[in-house]
Amino acid sequence: MLPLLRRTFIRYNSTIANATAAGKSPTAIVFMNMGGPSTIQETHDFLYELFADNDLIPISKKYQPTIAKYIAKYRTPKIEKQYREIGGGSPIRKWSEYQASEVCKILDETSPNTAPHKPYVAFRYANPLTDEAYKQLLNDGVKRAVAFSQYPQFSYSTTGSSINELWRQVKKLDPQRTINWSMIDRWPVHQGLINGFSENITRKLKEFPENIRDKVVLLFSAHSLPMDVVNTGDSYPAEVAATVYKVMQNLNFSNPYRLTWQSQVGPKPWLGAQTAAITKFLAPKVDGLVLVPIAFTSDHIETLHEVDLGIIAESPYKDKIKRCDSLNGQKLFINGLASLVKDHLQTGELYSKQLPLDFTLGKSSDPVEDLSLLFGDHSKK
């Protein structure tokens, strides 16, 4: 399926190139995410970029690059093995390119005044990296771009890091400010997201016998955060909880549920309770469990390996534990994304009202000092 989706992405870009040649600069829709290695060979570089990011993992402003080299070298064999076990790489690029292309196709129909729309993917730690995507924007003659965070719930360590990296590339690659940027920095309760999760949960619950279906416990699982990040006032825990509550409200609170947290690494305290621990505790006591990856918009190693091959496959009660499908190529979700971008383009909003406070509270070794320097039209200034 990967070659087919990649050809679709390239073919759509070719169509936009023809429109651009006709004289109209495209509106770039840039999907921003952490990314993942598409091949085994990319794993080391991915890990280095990840551990070198002081916004995500604040170790040492001065020595972090050196420390990251050692951590990446040490962890690469283990992580390469995990990627082999899920098919030879992360599918996040495949799904990001597909989602971005489909959103732009819809926008060309629903928002003709901002057409043509051209899809891009800019990852923080894997190819295509932010600098690679920015160079392509410049080569394509883009004058207007929307940075669209694919983290529905904002954290300074994820979305904030992507914004800081975008600012670094603006200064490096586009000092004349030829591109007018705006940002969709959070969307935790957008109806398209809520409907997408609700549909997938409902479908998964139907796999259980009808007489126990409403007793199945829904365990919403999100990537955890170190408590030293949470204690800065980071908005992520509250926004994840808001998504969970909105989904349950959409489902008329049909089932018992809890929010849990996964993917903790290292000795520091992390936000809990841990998904693995709660699953282990509840599995023998309940009629069924559905794990819902509530902070991910597509499959990647945390769903395919940590949850599927770890938490579920290794449980003695695996026959009554299921994972809700990730959103991936779901049409309801993609239509929601297109609606969200259309509204953003029509309102002219540069970023959310919460973002300045996020950057006031967030800690970084190389931050955007003033959001107004990054977003908006600077071409004549």
- 51-54 long-range Cβ contacts below 8 angstroms, 24+ apart: 53/124, 53/125, 53/161, 54/364, 54/365, 54/366
Active site residue 117: no
Candidate list 53, 302, 325, 358, residue with the active-site label? 302
Q: How far apart are CA 379 and CA 305, in angstroms?
A: 46
Given CA atoms 245, 247, 250, 254 in this order, what sign does their dihedral have?
negative
Contact 36, 154 (CB under 8 A): no
Candidate list 48, 83, 125, 236, residue with the active-site label? 125
Task: Count each helix (H run) and each strand (E run) in the chain, helices first.
Answer: 14, 8
Active site residue 85: no
Candidate list 5, 12, 32, 34, residue with the active-site label? 34
Candidate list 5, 50, 129, 337, residue with the active-site label? 50
Active site residue 108: no
Joined together, the tokens standing for residue 308 give 């599927």
Active site residue 299: yes
Active site residue 302: yes
Q: How far apart are CA 132 and CA 153, in angstroms?
A: 25
Candidate list 102, 165, 306, 358, residue with the active-site label? 306
Active site residue 306: yes
Active site residue 271: no
Candidate list 44, 93, 117, 124, residue with the active-site label? 124
Q: For residue 255, give every residue at least 6 positions away whose Cβ sits within 8 Å of its Cβ, in sequence order, or none.
A: 205, 214, 215, 216, 217, 218
Candidate list 299, 305, 323, 355, residue with the active-site label? 299
Contact 27, 118 (CB under 8 A): yes
Candidate list 190, 223, 323, 344, residue with the active-site label? 223
Joined together, the tokens standing for residue 325 give 């499908």
Candidate list 56, 219, 271, 355, residue with the active-site label? 56
Question: So which residues are the catalytic ones?
Answer: 34, 50, 56, 124-125, 223, 299, 302, 306
